Amino acid sequence: MRKSSIKSPKQDISEEIVSWVIKGMQEKKAQEIMVLDLRGVHNAFTDFFVICSGTSDTQIDAIADSVDKEIWEAGKLHAHAIEGKANREWILMDYYDVIVHVFLKEKRAFFKLEELWGDAKFTLVPDL
């Protein structure tokens, strides 16, 4: 049986959210933006992870705020949950089908989140 190439509305919106996340990250000079496409990963609980790094707690806070603002302005969507704003080392933003991770550079290297999802399709977003 041949798989359909028609995208569902859910796929379209999750891909749109990813593009809004990237734009918000780039506006605050996020580093090493990586998109993990988890749609083909067995037992994945979301469609995408979007991961980036910042060089200071102030920058990662600004990146998270920029992402949230971009998603609200573009799609009128609120995050289901935001964690880590108080300690500002790893901020997680849950948009259901898209999970955003904003790390301090050294925390990202420590947790190695990308290594946990080795079956995902990885896309490194070029710097602006």
* Beta carbons within 8 Å of 112's beta carbon, 6+ residues apart: none
Structural domain containing residue 79? 29-124
SS3 53: strand
Please check whether residue 11 lies inside any domain of the structure.
no
Q: Would you say residue 57 has pLDDT above 50?
A: yes
20 domain-assigned: no
Decide if 9 is inside a domain: no
Name the domain count of the chain: 1
Question: Does the residue 18 lie in any domain?
Answer: no
CATH number for the domain that contains residue 89: 3.30.460.10
Question: What per-residue confidence (pLDDT) applies to 5?
Answer: 44
Q: Which residues pair with 54 in a beta bridge?
A: 104
Per-residue pLDDT, averaged over 24-52, amounts to: 96
Domain assignment present for residue 1? The answer is no
| 78 vs 5, residue with greater confidence | 78
pLDDT score of 2 more than 90:
no
CB neighbour list of residue 32: distance below 8 Å, 6 or more residues apart: 51, 52, 53, 108, 124
Q: Residue 66 half-sphere exposure, CB side, CA atoms within 13 Å? A: 19
At 96-111, the pLDDT tens digits run 999 999 999 999 999 9
Overall pTM surpassing 0.75 (yes/no):
yes
